[in-house]
Protein backbone atom coordinates (compact mmCIF):
# COMPACT_ATOMS: atom_id res chain seq x y z
CA UNK A 1 0.00 0.00 0.00
CA UNK A 2 1.37 3.36 -1.00
CA UNK A 3 1.50 6.09 1.58
CA UNK A 4 0.13 9.33 0.21
CA UNK A 5 2.28 11.24 2.70
CA UNK A 6 5.63 9.82 1.57
CA UNK A 7 6.55 12.73 -0.71
CA UNK A 8 5.91 15.26 2.02
CA UNK A 9 7.74 13.10 4.56
CA UNK A 10 10.86 12.68 2.49
CA UNK A 11 11.15 16.28 1.31
CA UNK A 12 10.57 17.56 4.82
CA UNK A 13 13.14 15.20 6.28
CA UNK A 14 15.82 16.22 3.80
CA UNK A 15 15.16 19.91 4.31
CA UNK A 16 14.84 19.82 8.06
CA UNK A 17 17.79 17.53 8.75
CA UNK A 18 20.03 19.66 6.55
CA UNK A 19 18.81 22.90 8.10
CA UNK A 20 18.58 21.66 11.68
CA UNK A 21 21.73 23.44 12.91
CA UNK A 22 20.34 26.75 11.67
CA UNK A 23 16.93 26.29 13.23
CA UNK A 24 15.90 27.24 16.73
CA UNK A 25 16.64 24.17 18.80
CA UNK A 26 15.05 25.51 21.95
CA UNK A 27 11.45 24.76 21.07
CA UNK A 28 10.39 21.72 23.07
CA UNK A 29 7.64 19.52 21.68
CA UNK A 30 5.52 18.54 24.67
CA UNK A 31 6.78 17.23 27.98
CA UNK A 32 8.33 13.80 28.43
CA UNK A 33 11.30 12.30 30.16
CA UNK A 34 14.33 10.25 29.31
CA UNK A 35 14.71 6.75 30.80
CA UNK A 36 15.23 6.52 34.54
CA UNK A 37 18.82 5.37 34.05
CA UNK A 38 21.12 8.29 33.43
CA UNK A 39 21.89 8.84 29.77
CA UNK A 40 24.87 10.82 28.52
CA UNK A 41 22.51 12.91 26.37
CA UNK A 42 18.80 13.49 26.02
CA UNK A 43 16.58 16.03 24.34
CA UNK A 44 12.89 16.76 23.86
CA UNK A 45 13.63 19.51 21.33
CA UNK A 46 12.01 19.10 17.94
CA UNK A 47 15.34 19.21 16.13
CA UNK A 48 17.53 18.06 19.04
CA UNK A 49 20.78 16.50 17.81
CA UNK A 50 24.25 15.56 18.99
CA UNK A 51 27.31 13.61 17.85
CA UNK A 52 28.55 10.60 19.81
CA UNK A 53 31.18 8.01 18.85
CA UNK A 54 31.14 8.88 15.15
CA UNK A 55 27.33 8.93 14.83
CA UNK A 56 24.95 11.88 14.75
CA UNK A 57 21.68 11.45 16.63
CA UNK A 58 18.52 13.35 15.67
CA UNK A 59 15.19 13.63 17.49
CA UNK A 60 13.71 14.84 14.18
CA UNK A 61 10.00 15.49 14.76
CA UNK A 62 9.34 16.71 11.25
CA UNK A 63 5.74 15.75 10.40
CA UNK A 64 2.60 17.75 11.04
CA UNK A 65 0.28 16.86 13.90
CA UNK A 66 3.00 15.38 16.07
CA UNK A 67 2.86 15.07 19.83
CA UNK A 68 5.58 14.60 22.44
CA UNK A 69 8.88 12.87 21.78
CA UNK A 70 12.16 12.68 23.68
CA UNK A 71 15.39 11.02 22.60
CA UNK A 72 18.11 9.70 24.90
CA UNK A 73 21.50 8.13 24.25
CA UNK A 74 24.13 6.26 26.21
CA UNK A 75 26.29 6.27 23.07
CA UNK A 76 25.92 6.72 19.34
CA UNK A 77 24.91 3.07 19.07
CA UNK A 78 22.78 2.65 22.21
CA UNK A 79 19.85 5.04 22.25
CA UNK A 80 16.08 5.29 22.12
CA UNK A 81 13.00 7.47 22.09
CA UNK A 82 9.77 7.80 24.01
CA UNK A 83 7.08 9.05 21.64
CA UNK A 84 3.43 9.96 22.13
CA UNK A 85 2.04 10.78 18.70
CA UNK A 86 -1.71 10.73 18.01
CA UNK A 87 -3.44 7.93 16.14
CA UNK A 88 -3.73 9.90 12.90
CA UNK A 89 -2.31 9.43 9.42
CA UNK A 90 0.99 10.83 8.25
CA UNK A 91 4.47 10.20 9.58
CA UNK A 92 5.32 12.37 12.56
CA UNK A 93 9.02 11.71 13.10
CA UNK A 94 12.13 9.80 12.13
CA UNK A 95 14.46 9.71 15.14
CA UNK A 96 17.71 8.21 13.90
CA UNK A 97 21.44 7.73 14.19
CA UNK A 98 23.46 8.70 11.12
CA UNK A 99 26.88 7.58 9.91
CA UNK A 100 28.56 9.53 7.10
CA UNK A 101 30.15 7.23 4.50
CA UNK A 102 31.05 9.41 1.48
CA UNK A 103 32.19 6.50 -0.69
CA UNK A 104 31.19 5.60 -4.23
CA UNK A 105 29.53 2.23 -4.73
CA UNK A 106 32.39 0.79 -6.78
CA UNK A 107 35.05 2.01 -4.35
CA UNK A 108 33.61 -0.05 -1.49
CA UNK A 109 34.24 -3.71 -0.83
CA UNK A 110 31.66 -3.76 1.98
CA UNK A 111 28.98 -1.64 3.62
CA UNK A 112 27.55 -3.54 6.56
CA UNK A 113 25.37 -2.88 9.54
CA UNK A 114 24.12 -4.75 12.58
CA UNK A 115 21.05 -3.88 14.65
CA UNK A 116 19.31 -4.97 17.82
CA UNK A 117 16.13 -3.13 18.74
CA UNK A 118 13.17 -3.35 21.08
CA UNK A 119 9.95 -2.05 19.52
CA UNK A 120 6.35 -1.90 20.75
CA UNK A 121 3.59 -4.29 19.68
CA UNK A 122 1.16 -1.40 19.12
CA UNK A 123 1.34 1.83 17.15
CA UNK A 124 2.16 2.45 13.50
CA UNK A 125 5.85 2.63 12.57
CA UNK A 126 8.74 1.03 10.76
CA UNK A 127 12.31 0.35 11.84
CA UNK A 128 14.42 1.26 8.86
CA UNK A 129 17.69 2.21 7.27
CA UNK A 130 17.58 5.33 5.09
CA UNK A 131 20.51 5.51 2.66
CA UNK A 132 21.17 8.63 0.58
CA UNK A 133 23.58 9.57 -2.16
CA UNK A 134 25.45 12.83 -1.67
CA UNK A 135 23.29 14.69 -4.22
CA UNK A 136 20.03 13.47 -2.68
CA UNK A 137 18.92 12.06 -6.03
CA UNK A 138 18.37 8.56 -4.65
CA UNK A 139 16.91 7.27 -1.40
CA UNK A 140 17.19 3.61 -0.46
CA UNK A 141 15.06 2.44 2.45
CA UNK A 142 15.47 -0.95 4.13
CA UNK A 143 12.63 -1.83 6.50
CA UNK A 144 13.61 -4.58 8.94
CA UNK A 145 10.28 -4.51 10.79
CA UNK A 146 7.01 -2.58 10.63
CA UNK A 147 3.67 -2.45 12.40
CA UNK A 148 0.27 -0.88 11.88
CA UNK A 149 -1.06 1.05 8.92
CA UNK A 150 2.16 1.79 7.04
CA UNK A 151 3.33 1.01 3.51
CA UNK A 152 5.94 1.85 0.91
CA UNK A 153 5.95 4.52 -1.78
CA UNK A 154 5.53 3.53 -5.43
CA UNK A 155 4.83 0.31 -7.27
CA UNK A 156 5.74 -3.25 -6.39
CA UNK A 157 8.78 -4.49 -8.31
CA UNK A 158 8.99 -8.07 -7.05
CA UNK A 159 10.82 -10.07 -4.44
CA UNK A 160 14.56 -10.50 -4.03
CA UNK A 161 17.03 -12.00 -1.57
CA UNK A 162 19.97 -9.69 -0.95
CA UNK A 163 22.37 -8.88 1.86
CA UNK A 164 21.16 -11.76 4.01
CA UNK A 165 17.44 -10.93 3.86
CA UNK A 166 14.40 -11.49 1.68
CA UNK A 167 12.69 -8.28 0.57
CA UNK A 168 9.62 -7.04 -1.25
CA UNK A 169 10.80 -4.18 -3.46
CA UNK A 170 8.98 -0.94 -4.33
CA UNK A 171 10.06 1.88 -6.63
CA UNK A 172 8.69 5.40 -6.53
CA UNK A 173 9.54 8.99 -7.31
CA UNK A 174 9.17 12.22 -5.35
CA UNK A 175 8.89 15.55 -7.15
CA UNK A 176 10.23 18.69 -5.50
CA UNK A 177 8.57 22.08 -5.69
CA UNK A 178 11.08 23.21 -8.37
CA UNK A 179 10.18 20.29 -10.65
CA UNK A 180 13.28 18.21 -9.93
CA UNK A 181 12.87 14.81 -8.33
CA UNK A 182 14.54 11.92 -6.58
CA UNK A 183 13.88 8.19 -6.81
CA UNK A 184 12.97 6.08 -3.79
CA UNK A 185 13.74 2.36 -3.63
CA UNK A 186 12.10 0.64 -0.67
CA UNK A 187 13.02 -2.86 0.48
CA UNK A 188 10.56 -4.32 2.99
CA UNK A 189 11.71 -7.42 4.83
CA UNK A 190 9.17 -10.21 4.31
CA UNK A 191 9.21 -11.08 8.03
CA UNK A 192 9.84 -8.83 10.99
CA UNK A 193 13.28 -8.87 12.59
CA UNK A 194 14.48 -7.11 15.73
CA UNK A 195 18.13 -8.12 15.42
CA UNK A 196 20.51 -9.12 12.68
CA UNK A 197 23.12 -8.01 10.18
CA UNK A 198 22.48 -6.33 6.84
CA UNK A 199 24.96 -6.25 3.97
CA UNK A 200 23.92 -2.98 2.34
CA UNK A 201 26.40 -2.98 -0.54
CA UNK A 202 24.79 -5.95 -2.39
CA UNK A 203 21.49 -4.02 -2.31
CA UNK A 204 23.15 -0.95 -3.86
CA UNK A 205 24.89 -3.07 -6.51
CA UNK A 206 21.62 -4.80 -7.39
CA UNK A 207 19.96 -1.41 -7.92
CA UNK A 208 22.92 -0.18 -9.97
CA UNK A 209 24.03 -3.23 -11.95
CA UNK A 210 21.07 -5.61 -12.13
CA UNK A 211 18.26 -3.07 -12.48
CA UNK A 212 20.13 -0.06 -13.89
CA UNK A 213 18.09 2.31 -11.75
CA UNK A 214 21.10 4.43 -10.75
CA UNK A 215 24.77 4.84 -11.63
CA UNK A 216 27.93 4.73 -9.56
CA UNK A 217 26.61 7.10 -6.91
CA UNK A 218 28.60 8.35 -3.95
CA UNK A 219 26.80 7.21 -0.82
CA UNK A 220 26.68 10.01 1.72
CA UNK A 221 24.53 9.17 4.75
CA UNK A 222 23.42 5.85 6.20
CA UNK A 223 20.73 6.45 8.80
CA UNK A 224 19.04 3.95 11.10
CA UNK A 225 15.97 4.72 13.14
CA UNK A 226 12.23 4.57 13.67
CA UNK A 227 9.75 6.18 11.29
CA UNK A 228 6.79 6.81 13.56
CA UNK A 229 3.25 7.49 12.36
CA UNK A 230 1.37 6.94 15.62
CA UNK A 231 2.25 5.96 19.18
CA UNK A 232 -0.79 7.06 21.15
CA UNK A 233 -0.38 7.01 24.91
CA UNK A 234 3.41 6.94 24.72
CA UNK A 235 5.59 4.11 23.40
CA UNK A 236 9.26 3.24 23.78
CA UNK A 237 11.56 2.51 20.84
CA UNK A 238 15.04 1.31 21.78
CA UNK A 239 18.19 0.69 19.81
CA UNK A 240 20.02 -1.69 22.13
CA UNK A 241 23.00 -1.83 19.79
CA UNK A 242 23.85 -1.07 16.19
CA UNK A 243 26.82 -0.43 13.95
CA UNK A 244 27.51 0.85 10.44
CA UNK A 245 30.86 0.22 8.77
CA UNK A 246 32.35 0.39 5.30
CA UNK A 247 35.60 -0.67 3.65
What pLDDT sits at residue 104? 98
What pLDDT sits at residue 176? 92
What confidence tens digit (pLDDT) does each residue in 166-184 have?
999 999 999 999 999 999 9
Q: Is the pLDDT of residue 145 over 50?
A: yes
What pLDDT sits at residue 1? 35
Indicate the average pLDDT of the chain: 89
What pLDDT sits at residue 37? 55
Report in angstroms the alpha-carbon separations of 97 from 15, 76, 173: 17, 7, 25
- The string over 181-220, giving b where at least 16 C-beta atoms fall within 10 Å of a residue's C-beta and e elsewhere, is ebbbbbbbbeeebeeeebebbbbbbbbbeeeeebeebebb
**Structural domains of the chain sorted by starting position, each given as residue range(s) with its CATH number in brackets:** 6-242 (2.60.120.180)
Report, as an integer, the average pLDDT of 74-86. 98
What confidence tens digit (pLDDT) does each residue in 209-224 have?
999 999 999 999 999 9
What confidence tens digit (pLDDT) does each residue in 89-129 have?
999 999 999 999 999 999 999 999 999 999 999 999 999 99
Amino acid sequence: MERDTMATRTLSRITKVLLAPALALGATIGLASAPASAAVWNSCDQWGNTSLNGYTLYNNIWGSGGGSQCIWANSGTNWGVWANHPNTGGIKSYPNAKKVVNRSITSMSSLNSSYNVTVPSSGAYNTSYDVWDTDYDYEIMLWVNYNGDVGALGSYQGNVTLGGHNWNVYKGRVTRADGTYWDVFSFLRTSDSTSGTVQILPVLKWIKDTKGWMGNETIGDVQFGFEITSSSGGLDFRTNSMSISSS
